[in-house]
Amino acid sequence: MYAAKAGDNQEKGDAQLRLGNFSVSLTVKDIAASRAFYEKLGFRKCGGDEAKNWLVLQNETATIGLFQGMFDKNSLTFNPGWDRTKTTLPDFDDVREIQRRLKAHGLPLATEADESTSGPASLTLFDPDGNPILIDQHVPSPRK
């Protein structure tokens, strides 16, 4: 069995993308039932508003978002600039830099961040199986 090593798929001099906090965003039919289910697995609310049909739950190092009526499919979500407690990191890759590098690697984007702006922005792409990936920056751009 082949074990990938850090940097195996990186070109020489191509630094790893720093995508930030990771969570899975789940499309749910009944947010109250989903919350009750995941709480039985040890997850606890750390954000969101159930009355507005979205919650963020955590269990140790796992983070999930529950979204009722907002998305068509489950999604992978990355938040550049945040650690898992939503603390802003002192140094991170801005979503527009991530976007430039994804495009340079030939990855098509479904939505794009406006490169003439700074601060909060997002982009969306799909993996080869059609799974949506949201890269959603909520914080000011880092100073370089």
Instruction: Return the domain boundaries, the chain.
Output: 21-51+63-137
What is the rounded CA–CA span in Å between residue 85 and residue 21?
A: 9
**Residues 119-135 pLDDT 10s:** 999 999 999 999 999 99
Average pLDDT over residues 40-61: 96
**Residues 63-75 pLDDT 10s:** 999 999 998 999 9
User: Which amino acid is located at 2 in the chain?
Assistant: Y
Specify whether the CB–CB gap between 29 and 73 falls below 8 A: no
Neighbour order of strands in the sheet with 121-126: 44-49, 54-59, 62-68, 21-28, 75-79, 132-137, 121-126
Q: Which CATH superfamily is domain 21-51+63-137 in?
A: 2,3-Dihydroxybiphenyl 1,2-Dioxygenase, domain 1 (3.10.180.10)
Q: Which residues pair with 136 in a beta bridge?
A: 122
Q: What is the pTM of this model?
A: 0.84
